[in-house]
């Protein structure tokens, strides 16, 4: 005859077994939203480049002079370095064009260390990098930033881009090139295996991700 502790343990085992079967049946089916069905994991070079061409908002993190963090969403223009595979030694440039009075331009000039993230909330694609900001132009009218801003305006606003940009061309801007020194990517709905704690009584990492691509 089982004692009370053994009965409780047996009930727990049966509940966990039932839970594993329940989740396995759910995860064997693909996600209802096809955009969520990309194979979970790091993105390959071709997928990265197709993603970066989309023109998603870049969230840029930098440091204030007192060391406090500062983050700003901004337009960017991606410029690929020939032969780059977007790994550890990614040499691409992400151009950003702050307005003359943008505080974050001063922050970048004072301390070039940056982190940035570009992501798509629908497909769960993410491109994150640490790097440095290289100052190319400081609060000028005209210059290299104009051509880059023209491409940006069309990329983000389509045919309305030039209508927005034209009246502002006599407003001074800065130009920075963000150069990644460390890149991480992800796509799909799921966890990286290194985060998963096995033997907790729930489903395994493999079972939880059996339907994610």
Higher pLDDT, 61 or 16: 61
Contacts 24+ apart (CB under 8 A), 46-55: 47/125, 47/187, 48/86, 48/127, 48/185, 49/80, 49/86, 51/118, 51/120, 51/125, 51/127, 52/78, 52/118, 52/127, 53/78, 54/120, 55/155, 55/156
Domain segments of the chain: what residues?
A: 4-37+190-208, 45-186
Contact 183, 88 (CB under 8 A): yes
Question: Model confidence over 164-209: pLDDT tens digits?
Answer: 999 999 999 999 999 999 999 888 777 777 888 888 877 787 777 7
Contact 137, 143 (CB under 8 A): yes
Question: Model confidence over 49-75: pLDDT tens digits?
Answer: 888 888 899 999 999 999 999 999 999
Residue 208: predicted pLDDT: 74
Confidence of residue 11 (pLDDT cuts 50, 70, 90): very low
Select from 1.10.357.10, 2.60.120.560, 1.10.3810.10, 2.30.110.10 the CATH code of 45-186: 2.30.110.10
Q: Which residues pair with 74 in a beta bridge?
A: 58
Separation CA 110–CA 103 (nearest Å): 11
């Amino acid at each position: 005859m089982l004692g009370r502790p053994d009965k409780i343990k047996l009930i727990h085992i049966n509940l966990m077994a039932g839970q594993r079967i329940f989740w396995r049946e759910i995860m064997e089916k693909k996600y209802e939203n096809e955009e969520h069905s990309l194979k979970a994991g790091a993105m390959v070079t071709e997928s990265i480049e197709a993603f970066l061409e989309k023109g998603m908002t870049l969230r840029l993190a930098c440091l204030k002079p007192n060391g406090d963090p500062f983050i700003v969403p901004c337009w960017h223009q991606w410029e690929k370095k020939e032969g780059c595979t977007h790994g550890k030694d990614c040499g691409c440039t992400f151009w950003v064009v702050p307005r003359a009075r943008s505080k974050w331009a001063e922050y970048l000039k004072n301390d070039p260390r940056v982190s940035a993230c570009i992501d798509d909330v629908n497909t769960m694609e993410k491109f994150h990098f640490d790097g440095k900001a290289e100052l190319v132009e400081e609060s000028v009218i005209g210059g290299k930033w104009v051509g880059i801003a023209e491409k940006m305006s069309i990329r983000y606003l389509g045919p309305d881009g030039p209508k927005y940009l034209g009246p502002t061309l006599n407003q001074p801007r800065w130009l920075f090139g963000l150069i990644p020194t460390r890149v991480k990517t992800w796509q799909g709905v799921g966890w990286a295996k290194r985060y998963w704690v096995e033997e907790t009584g729930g489903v395994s990492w493999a079972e939880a991700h059996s339907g994610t691509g």
